[in-house]
Amino acid sequence: MSSSMDTGKGKDSLLPAPTDIDALTKAEHPDPFAVLGPHADAAGGQFVRAFLPGAVSVNVLARDTGEVLGRLDDAQVTGLFVGHFTQARPYLLQVDWGNAVQTSEDPYSFGPLLGEMDLYLFAEGNHRDLSSCFGAQLLEVDGVPGVRFAVWAPNARRVSVVGDFNGWDGRRHPMRLRHANGVWELFVPRLQAGEAYKYEILGAHGILPLKADPVALATQLPPDTASKVASPLAIDWQDGDWMQAREQRQRRDAPLSIYELHAGSWQCETDDVGDIERQYSWPELAERLIPYVQQLGFTHIELMPIMEHPFGGSWGYQPLSQFAPTARYGSPDDFAAFVNACHMAGIGVILDWVPAHFPNDTHGLAQFDGTALYEYANPLEGFHQDWNTLIYNLGRTEVHGFMLASALHWLKHFHVDGLRVDAVASMLYRDYSRKAGEWVPNRHGGRENLEAIEFLRHLNDVVAYEVPGALVIAEESTAWPGVSESTDQGGLGFSYKWNMGWMHDSLHYIQQDPVYRAHHHNELSFGLVYAWSERFILPISHDEVVHGKHSLIDKMPGDRWQKFANLRAYLSFMWAHPGKKLLFMGCEFGQWREWNHDQQLDWYLLQYPEHRGVQKLVGDLNRLYREQPALYEQDDVSQGFQWLIGDDAANSVYAWLRWSKDGSPLLVVTNFTPVPREGYRIGVPFAGTWQEVINSDSAIYAGSDYGNGGGVVTQEVASHGQGVSLALNLPPLGVLILRPVTG
């Protein structure tokens, strides 16, 4: 390459066509690589063109030596600089911006970077690691460090990446279109982690509001909305033992007791009036939360959505960055370290995940390239009336694959143990929460959303294959058959389904004044009619303690003593009932007020013995649950449950046996009236002493301490189809759990 400009070619030959120049200056050029960067001259030399609005001058340097090869001429078009060199050599651009000089490789000197297989798998909707391919990826190209940006916008006329690094000027870094796939890409040399960026997209009808990256791995702290270039996760994973044993830990015949929490309002720093002054970071949460969960004996925590969401009041259920942990609590590395710490402490981590809908924020996915790209175009299909959100068009292969990749991102990169899939019912039915005439039937004329069903089945199959042992849990409130049945048996393939029917019926029952409970006796037992139709989790979730529904303890009837007794009895009934367990934060110690995401839990209540008593009971229930296979091994089969008394409505008494696989029973007896029952006879299968392992009315839980002195011996009196029986003292508003003493 000559060190001087070749002027013999004539200036006009250096310039692009007038139409190209016009398109560049208007930021409308669909193919900037056809004009900018190096272009061979057919004689071993090259033309170099750069469009740098605001630059004063541009020198070309040899990449290997740094020597000045020449200067690009001002083309008398604002921002356009051109030159010709007799030898083609790798080069740097030295740009004088007036207040600073910047030296870097020319983004338009690099060829296409995304592999054909990546693009094919993306178009097919089956790219299993999209977060390592799309978005902003730190990498080296030809020994040059920088960031490769890639975004799907098939209907855009032009896409530019903008940020602080180019003054948010969409003319500076227009991207290359990979035509067959509608994907735009650009490598920006020397860019580093931490840079904020968005995409400027020219749609059919003009420039759209700047868009955050759908596959961003990190974001700015809300209310700011830009994406951020993230470093690859740099976490020293020390959870090998946990990951190796996880599949066994999370089998259907293993104990599963989940503590659901909102990371921002569990504990935090508060101001004088009790409002949140500062939310804790992931390291601070780990320090406080992990010992607490260990103390209470839960096997898992479930975090309400931590994917980045602009509006904190959505509690995370309106996420826009499906691959980025919210910046509210720290970096992606911080979150990974939190998961690692949980695993080291023997606690699993489940994330709430929202594939059903997304908010219509202008910087988000809505009308991403000027068209309905991620959402259905028809509002009768694509708009959620209840939540003022948009519905993913999962029938579009790219959208299907995008959400599939999001699920795998959390499970594989962050070692997350399971996903709770939000609002599955709204995904299954096209007429969900819609009146006649407000929905579009499927291709068969039915109400089922066939595309969403296919997505959920594919998701569960892929997770089972790619992340064996990981849980996928459905929040599904209808009678859809086979939610937790395998896909090869015609089911949806979920690990578990939330038992919303049990939750509704049992809460309705427990809210009745005990005087009237006899008339509602069947509500408490109805769940056993269908208890083995699915693999169930019994959920007392955040949804039950907000929006005027009252806190769990405040749902209970009676005076203060009765409320606490009812709460302890209800929790004991729940832990003794077939089905895995989920309890929302604050319920474990009887918080009086409804949950408020802007305040931490009312921890001061633990100075009172009744609140400490509930907390201790939950811990004891969890320990008993984990220690006694009868309470978890046969949750999903009828052999694990046996009624003894189900029809004593007059006394509001129930009694049943839970059986382990090896034939070891536990006896559960409930008395849902405030009247103590002395000498209440119940038939049991084994003679000898039966030990009280839980009495919800015990003094250690701040109860009245009415019971059986720790145990009772059988009598040779046949009852309830059994040869021997126990004469039990049943505490008021209490639950007893007893086991036979062997040896």
- Residues assigned a catalytic role: 422, 475
Which of the 8 DSSP states describes residue 410? I
Q: Using CB atoms within 10 A of its CB, is residue 155 exposed (0-12), middle (13-18) or buried (19+)?
A: middle
SS3 83: strand
Cα distance between residue 496 and residue 635, in whole Å: 11
Residues 6+ apart with CB under 8 A from 427: 355, 356, 394, 449, 452, 453, 455, 456
- C-alpha to C-alpha distance for 40 and 88, rounded to whole angstroms: 7
Give 592: exposed, middle or buried? Use CB within 10 Å, 0-12, 13-18, 19+: middle
Structure tokens at 77: 């078009």
The amino acid present at 430, given as its one-letter code, is R
d(C-alpha 489, C-alpha 457), whole Å: 11
Number of Cβ atoms within 10 Å of the Cβ of 740: 17
Q: How far apart are CA 16 and CA 24, in angstroms?
A: 10
What are the percentages of helix, strand and coil residues in the chain, rounded to 5?
A: 30, 30, 45
For the chain, how many helices (H) and strands (E)? 14, 39
Contact by Cβ (8 Å): 277, 264: no
Strands (DSSP E) along 599-664, which ranges?
A: 641-648, 653-659
Query: β-pairing, 101-105 with 496-498?
Result: unpaired
Q: How many CB atoms lie within 10 A of CB 316?
A: 25
Handedness of CA 472, 475, 480, 484 (dihedral sign): positive
Straight-line distance from the first to the last Cα atom of the chain, in angstroms, rounded to the nearest whole number: 94
CA distance 483 to 457: 10
